[in-house]
């Protein structure tokens, strides 16, 4: 058994930390407040090959492992959970799906600009009536000669307003049930696709989320990702990968909560001593550090399984479930440790607590993860 990252991965983590200290920490509170997507940060991430770590170099990526990408997501999330999530969905879902299901032509066309960070990716699955219940989707995609035509309304699309490449799911044959959905690559600017309502969110406010509306959106058949009928399997594979990213995002949030809690509790004096001297506070920190370690191991293990080519769907769900719930639980404690100061804007823990909540919801709620895990055990 080997619990070590490689020297390269350690250096990459350190470089990401330095990147964050220089470019992300100074603006993290402001982009949260203004709900602004930090384009300038992502341009720099693109230039430093952070936007395509597991993508082979021939498609413009860095040619490293999924675990390396996960370490980058964790470290970025520690400074800005919204940006960590943007990186996760871009690489972990969109690029991975293109790599796994794309034709050679599709990979050559779409991966390089994504890997260089010139375009952002979006994963367009959820609908107003179809969240956890993906099969309740209404979007219809009909064949018309050499084209397909998409009609439907999608919601909660991360990067919706600012992506360049959208992977869109809908029914090509509703009567075929689980084999009736298909996935398509829709580039930005395709007539018939437009951005609907923008959502104002509690947390990860520096990530843009919107509706996506498709009205007779016509795309050539070359944009079919995988085969007709593969849509549901593609969506689930995307989520399996993405969930490790959300787990990493949660680990980053937890690490930040721990850092803040240690720092604050050693400085804050009440009753003539630092509050960290109270067992009540010290034990909160002990529990936080313990869950952080557990969450990190689950996350890295899931990524390692993926890199080893082994099945990892259940482990990805376990990592996401545990890390997300730990992030929520302990960011509440981190606010508690800072008392009234922690409840006010300007305290990082206030943002961490709001950001943590989403990790229990997207890419499958905690309930959905429990369904996946128990389903795989009780089959």
Residues within the interface to ligand FAD (CB under 6 A): 89, 123-126, 131-132, 156-158, 201, 209, 358, 361-365, 367-368
274 contributes a contact to other proteins by CB under 8 A: no
Residue 192, Cβ neighbours under 10 Å: how many? 15
198 contributes a contact to other proteins by CB under 8 A: no
Partner whose footprint covers residue 158, from ligand FAD, other proteins, none (CB < 5 to 8 Å by kind):
ligand FAD
Task: Provide the token pair at 89.
Answer: 């969905």
Residue 52 C-beta: closest distance to other proteins, Å: 9
Task: Provide the token pair at 275.
Answer: 């509050």
Count of residues in contact with other proteins, rule CB under 8 A: 21
Which is nearer to ligand FAD, 132 or 216 (by Cβ)?
Answer: 132
Q: Which residues contact 103 (CB under 8 A, 6 or more apart)?
A: 222
292 contributes a contact to other proteins by CB under 8 A: no
40 contributes a contact to other proteins by CB under 8 A: no
339 contributes a contact to other proteins by CB under 8 A: no
Partner whose footprint covers residue 367, from ligand FAD, other proteins, none (CB < 5 to 8 Å by kind):
ligand FAD
276 contributes a contact to other proteins by CB under 8 A: no
Which is nearer to ligand FAD, 56 or 164 (by Cβ)?
Answer: 164
269 contributes a contact to other proteins by CB under 8 A: no
49 contributes a contact to other proteins by CB under 8 A: yes
Which is nearer to ligand FAD, 169 or 304 (by Cβ)?
Answer: 169
53 contributes a contact to other proteins by CB under 8 A: yes
Which is nearer to other proteins, 11 or 100 (by Cβ)?
Answer: 11
Q: Which of 75, 119, 360, 363 is catalytic?
A: 363
263 contributes a contact to other proteins by CB under 8 A: no
Residue 62 C-beta: closest distance to other proteins, Å: 4
Residue 142 C-beta: closest distance to other proteins, Å: 42
15 contributes a contact to other proteins by CB under 8 A: yes
Q: Are strands 165-171 and 209-220 parallel, antiparallel or unpaired?
A: unpaired
Q: Is 178 exposed, middle or buried (0-12, 13-18, 19+ CB in 10 A)?
A: exposed
Q: Is 367 exposed, middle or buried (0-12, 13-18, 19+ CB in 10 A)?
A: exposed
Active site residue 30: no
Which is nearer to other proteins, 8 or 197 (by Cβ)?
Answer: 8
Partner whose footprint covers residue 156, from other proteins, ligand FAD, none (CB < 5 to 8 Å by kind):
ligand FAD
62 contributes a contact to other proteins by CB under 8 A: yes
Partner whose footprint covers residue 126, from ligand FAD, other proteins, none (CB < 5 to 8 Å by kind):
ligand FAD
48 contributes a contact to other proteins by CB under 8 A: yes
Which is nearer to other proteins, 117 or 364 (by Cβ)?
Answer: 117
Catalytic residues: 363
Binding site for other proteins (CB under 8 A): 7-8, 10-12, 14-15, 18-19, 22, 47-50, 53, 57, 62-64, 68, 72
């Amino acid at each position: 058994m080997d619990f070590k990252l490689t020297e390269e991965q350690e250096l990459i983590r350190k470089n990401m930390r330095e990147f964050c200290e220089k470019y992300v920490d100074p603006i993290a509170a402001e982009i949260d407040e203004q709900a602004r997507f930090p384009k300038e940060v992502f341009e720099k991430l693109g230039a430093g090959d952070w936007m395509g770590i597991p993508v082979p170099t021939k498609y413009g990526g860095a040619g490293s492992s999924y675990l390396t990408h996960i370490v980058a997501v964790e470290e970025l999330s520690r400074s800005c959970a919204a940006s960590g999530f943007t990186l996760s969905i871009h690489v972990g879902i969109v690029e991975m799906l293109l790599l796994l299901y794309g034709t050679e032509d599709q990979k050559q066309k779409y991966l390089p600009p994504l890997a260089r960070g010139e375009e952002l990716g979006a994963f367009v699955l959820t609908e107003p009536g179809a969240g956890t219940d993906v099969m309740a989707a209404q979007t219809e995609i009909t064949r018309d000669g050499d084209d397909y035509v998409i009609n439907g309304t999608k919601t909660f699309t991360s990067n919706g307003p600012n992506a360049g490449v959208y992977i869109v799911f809908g029914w090509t044959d509703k009567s075929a049930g689980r084999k009736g959905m298909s996935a398509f690559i829709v580039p930005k600017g395709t007539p018939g696709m437009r951005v609907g309502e923008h959502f104002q969110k509690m947390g990860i406010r520096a990530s843009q989320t919107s509706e996506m509306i498709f009205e007779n959106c016509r795309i050539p058949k070359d944009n079919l990702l995988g085969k007709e009928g593969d849509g549901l399997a593609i969506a689930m594979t995307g989520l399996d990968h993405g969930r490790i990213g959300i787990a990493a995002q949660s680990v980053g949030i937890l690490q930040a909560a721990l850092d803040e809690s240690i720092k604050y509790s050693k400085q804050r004096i009440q009753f003539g001593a630092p509050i960290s001297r109270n067992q009540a506070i010290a034990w909160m920190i002990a529990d936080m550090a313990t869950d952080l370690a557990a969450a990190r191991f689950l996350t890295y293990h899931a990524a390692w399984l993926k890199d080893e080519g082994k099945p990892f769907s259940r482990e990805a769900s376990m990592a996401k479930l545990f890390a997300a719930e730990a992030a929520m639980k302990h960011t509440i404690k981190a606010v508690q440790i800072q008392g009234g100061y922690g409840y006010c804007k300007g305290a990082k823990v206030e943002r961490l607590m709001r950001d943590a909540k989403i990790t229990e919801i997207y890419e499958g709620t905690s309930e959905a993860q429990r369904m996946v895990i128990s389903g795989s055990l009780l089959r």
